[in-house]
Amino acid sequence: MLRVGINGYGTIGKRVADAVRKQPDMEVQGVGKRSPDYVAVNADERDYAVYAADESRADGFREIGIDLAGTVDDLVAESDVIVDATPSGVGAENRPLYERHETPALFQGGEDATVAEVSFNARANYEEAEDADYVRVVSCNTTGLSRFLAPLHENYGVEKARVTLVRRGGDPDQTGRGPINDAVPDPVSIPSHHGPDVQTVFPELDIDTVGLKVPTTMMHVHSVNVTLEERPDDVEDVTELYRNEDRVLTIPDYAGIDGAGTLKDLAQDAGRPRGDIWENCLWEESLTLQGQDLYCMQAIHQEADVVPENVDALRALEGELSSAESRAITNETLGIDLTHLHGRTDLTADRRTPDESLADD
Ligand SMILES: NC(=O)C1=CN([C@@H]2O[C@H](COP(=O)(O)OP(=O)(O)OC[C@H]3O[C@@H](n4cnc5c(N)ncnc54)[C@H](O)[C@@H]3O)[C@@H](O)[C@H]2O)C=CC1
Ligand SMILES: O=C(OP(=O)(O)O)[C@H](O)COP(=O)(O)O
């Protein structure tokens, strides 16, 4: 059993802890927590061993009845590998601690790429992490773009990708973030950091990205335009390509899923923990071919999509299973399978024009 320590038990860390706990080949050694707050109580209630960020904070945990397992220093010493899910920039500060204990570590996408030897996406470059000690799981948007671009790149070649990212203002627990009544260029500079970040996974890929922030906490939405090197025969071929991707939920036209709200409702109805959507959500109706150009829209649940990627990155570091093997285990244990949406209809019927349907009747 791989003993996994999770340092930083916030939006990403708590989800990664729950996902690791579901794996047959891993266990959670414990979670590193800085503040003795409701999230710490939640970790304790879930029977995770809690380690305080440092000794000076220990009394605060004891005062709320949390029997600490030690400090983060102890957690790093007692774990085979650390998932660092601390806020952006703190991971880089923590790296010397992991090095001191010779404990390999995963970092998150808020860190600069230089924090690790490899920037990781399970679908695109799993094998590159096999000889690494330090791996960065790329950010939610970069994960979503990597999953989207990998099959296109392999099947048709990507001449140029252009993406507008409509970014959620903050996560649901980030009460102080906005905007609350605005649409804000974010970042103001063009290209946004996402394009260069995608290139840490696909070094040769030509991609430009721009971002703006809007008042929602639910999901990011990408408006994508890709100029392909080779034109697909039909847009149906592209739709089929994505229907066969394990972490892309293609949304059939009949389903009435018209935005992030209905996607969240779908996830909650499916009994997903915290209403999490681990897949890219790609609207089939938006897939459009014009000459060599493919257009589409996809939604990315920022709190969730990197979670299975962290699990796979842990296995990639171990170097014992292939990407396909690891993803299959992760998908099954987490329940990444909303394909029932497609079992309900003749998929080809979806895309017929009303005239064609009438002719059949
Ligand atoms: N929230 C999101 O939408 C996504 C975040 N990420 C990345 O994941 C990383 C973590 O982000 P979140 O989970 O959103 O942050 P968060 O703020 O929700 O959680 C961070 C946790 O680390 C703890 N912490 C703060 N300082 C610490 C320190 N010095 N030592 C140990 N723990 C400390 C905080 O108390 C909190 O529990 C960042 O790199 C972020 O860019 C990646 C994908 C999506
Ligand atoms: O990884 C994320 O976004 P990103 O892909 O835009 O960097 C997360 O949604 C965190 O975004 P934030 O930096 O606005 O908190």
Catalogue all structural domains in the chain, each as residue range(s) with its CATH number: 2-138+306-334 (3.40.50.720), 140-305 (3.30.360.10)
- Residue 346 has a pLDDT of 53
- Residue 360 has a pLDDT of 47
Q: Choosing from 66, 140, 201, 316, which is the catalytic residue?
A: 140
Alpha-carbon distance of 257 to 351, in angstroms, equals 16
Mutation pick for ligand 1 pocket among 108, 119, 142, 177 (CB with most ligand atoms within 8 Å): 108
125 labeled binding residue = no
Ligand in nearest proximity to the CA of 166: 2
- Residue 351 has a pLDDT of 43
Mutation pick for ligand 2 pocket among 139, 166, 220, 300 (CB with most ligand atoms within 8 Å): 139
Q: Residue 116 pLDDT > 90, yes or no?
A: yes
**CA 169 – ligand 2 centroid, Å:** 9
140 labeled binding residue = yes
- Residue 344 has a pLDDT of 64
Both tokens assigned to 53: 């960020």
- Residue 100 has a pLDDT of 98
Closest protein CA for atom 35 of ligand 1:
34
The arithmetic mean of pLDDT across residues 133-142, rounded, is 98
C-beta neighbour count of 285 within 10 angstroms: 16
**CA 137 – ligand 1 centroid, Å:** 13
Ligand in nearest proximity to the CA of 83: 1
Confidence band of 338 (pLDDT split at 50, 70, 90): confident
139 labeled binding residue = yes
Both tokens assigned to 295: 């257009």
**CA 144 – ligand 2 centroid, Å:** 12
C-beta neighbour count of 189 within 10 angstroms: 10
Our answer on whether the CB atom of 12 is closer than 6 Å to any ligand 2 atom is no
Percent of the chain with pLDDT over 70: 95
Confidence band of 345 (pLDDT split at 50, 70, 90): low
Alpha-carbon distance of 277 to 5, in angstroms, equals 24
Confidence band of 248 (pLDDT split at 50, 70, 90): very high
Q: What is the pLDDT of residues 249-267, one digit of tens each?
A: 999 999 999 999 999 999 9
Partners of residue 297 on adjacent β-strands: 223
Partners of residue 223 on adjacent β-strands: 164, 297
Angle at 158 between CA 351 and CA 237, to 5 degrees: 25
Q: What number does the ligand 2 atom closest to the CA of 165 have? A: 6
- Residue 342 has a pLDDT of 81
Q: Residue 353 pLDDT > 50, yes or no?
A: no
* DSSP-derived pairing of the beta strands 81-84 and 280-283: unpaired
Percent of the chain with pLDDT over 90: 91
Least confident range from 173-182, 201-210, 349-358: namely 349-358
Our answer on whether the CB atom of 86 is closer than 6 Å to any ligand 2 atom is no
Our answer on whether the CB atom of 169 is closer than 6 Å to any ligand 1 atom is no
Active site residue 140: yes
Alpha-carbon distance of 108 to 61, in angstroms, equals 26
Q: What is the pLDDT of residues 209-230, one digit of tens each?
A: 999 999 999 999 999 999 999 9
C-beta neighbour count of 157 within 10 angstroms: 12
Closest protein CA for atom 1 of ligand 2:
139
Give me the residue label for tokens 């939610």. Answer: 140
**Whose CA is closest to 72, among 31, 104, 119?**
31
